[in-house]
A and B are shown apart, each in its own frame.
Chain A
Amino acid sequence: MTVPVEITINGKACAGDVEERQLLVHFIRENAGLTGTKVGCDTSQCGTCTVQLDGVSAKACTVLTVQASGSSVTTIEGISDGVDLHPLQEAFWNNHGLQCGFCTPGMIMAANELLRNNPSPTREEIRHGLEGNICRCTGYQNIVSAVEDAAKAMGGR
């Protein structure tokens, strides 16, 4: 059976009829067509499906679409204006903060919340703030450097 849902994604209302068991990450990718948000481990551990749900980071593989109906979601596609890169994207580019790139959307979404709560984190605090995101290329050094760099660019220090 399907039920109607409506979720505001990156400021745009997205309506659909979905199975009640559908996960939010599949609604984002398949119904809204936004494939920046990835499905990685599918067990709430790797964090590559991280989005902002009603203003806080959430793992979209562990939320039902019907649970999120009526909510607002921001995905990796929604953090920049489509012309200029977000400072975090710019910093990941400049610091080679990615290798295969699969974890990158989740890393940037998690880092975005981290910098909102703590505009000038230490390297240790960055590692702690990103502990729900796994880079299987093990490229953490440059990811931490990228977030540090973005914090400076965003005016933290």
Chain B
Amino acid sequence: MFPAQITYHRAGSVAEAVQLLSSNEGAKLLAGGHSLLPLMKLRLAAPAVLVDIGRIEALKGVSASGGGITIGALTTHAEIASSDLVKQHAPVLAEAAALVGDPAVRNRGTIGGSVSHADPASDQPTVLTALGATFNVTGQGGDRSIAAGDFATGLLENALEENEVLTSISVPSVPSGAGSAYVKFPHPASRYAVVGAAAVVAVSGGTCSSASVVVGGVETTPARASSVEAALAGSDLGDAALDAAAAAVGGDLNGDPMGDVFASAEYRRAMAAVYVRRALGAAASRAG
């Protein structure tokens, strides 16, 4: 399988990438290529122009920033999975990165490419939404920030303007004493999440002081499980409380559940409760 004919440009800087996007109607950014190239081979995407940002060093790496970390958009899943800074500030992100695809995919795939692709079966959009991350973008109109929960606007659609580049992701530290976890039901061949669940659970005086729970793979964008969060708040995080909270996820998935030949919408909804329960159990055991 080949992609359709393209014109390829390699951008040396973010400014050059913005300029190339602006001067080429319908141009697409190429980073690791592990989301875009498969779509192009299947003709699900056919951009006439590709702007390769894969060698812009300024977009690579993880650094500490006030109250958290900043992750360059070109940082690979393999780098995130092994980053000490990520493990220290947002261990759930490293946990999820290690579950993306397979080793070769993690070597090439980038966090910025993954979230921009906006596939609801991707792992990191679910985790970043639970962590309350912020996506930093640059375009012709200057810089702006987009909350992780507002970034995906639909199936494979994101909030970027045509000429904007996602440059980095700011992730606040998981508060000390809070536990976090990501668990998923991977598709056996692609390893994409049939259902993925991310949970951050904070404990104070033996009860849950706050919780952030997000489910991926079921709806067209990551779904915040507000009913689960509400059920957890003030609970003792015992088995009965976690069972009841996880069962409440059905009330959060009234949107547009997806189904395919591998897993029906009904099955995904059923598995959402199972995987939310597992994520809550793991996060609660790490809290305190």
Contacts and interface: CB of A to CB of B under 8 A. Distances in A.
A8 B4 CA distance: 26
Contacts of B102: 47, 131-133
A43 B38 contact: yes
A42 B1 contact: yes
Contacts, number: 80
B34 A62 contact: yes
Contact of A67 (B30, B78, B104): B30
Contacts of A1: 7
B191 A131 contact: yes
Given A20-B7, A21-B4, A67-B30, A57 B103 contact: yes
B103 A110 contact: yes
Contact of A64 (B33, B103, B104, B107): B33
Nearest to A3: B8
A77 interface: no
Interface string A56-90: 11110011101100000000000000000000000
B190 A45 contact: yes
A56 B78 contact: yes
B265 interface: no
Nearest to A65: B8
A56 B104 CA distance: 8
Chain A, interface SS category: mixed
Name the interface size band of chain A: 20 to 34
B157 interface: no
B55 to A, nearest CB: 8
Interface in B20-47: 30, 33-34, 37-38, 41
Nearest to A39: B1
A23 B2 contact: yes
Interface string A127-144: 001011110000000000
A132 B54 contact: no
A64 B8 contact: yes
A62 B1 CA distance: 10
B61 interface: no
B6 to A, nearest CB: 5
Contacts of B4: 21
B52 interface: yes
Contacts of A42: 1, 41
Contact of B103 (A3, A23, A44, A132): A132
Nearest to A131: B102
A110 B8 contact: no
A64 B37 contact: yes
Contacts of A22: 2
A114 to B, nearest CB: 7
Given A21-B2, A23-B2, A45-B189, A63 B103 contact: no
B254 interface: no
B5 A19 contact: yes
Contacts of A63: 33, 37, 108
A30 to B, nearest CB: 12
18 contacts: A20-B6, A21-B3, A21-B6, A44-B34, A44-B101, A57-B104, A57-B107, A58-B107, A62-B38, A63-B108, A64-B30, A64-B33, A67-B33, A67-B52, A67-B54, A110-B104, A114-B103, A129-B103
Give 5 closest A-B pairs by Cβ, nearest first. A132-B102, A20-B8, A56-B107, A57-B104, A21-B3
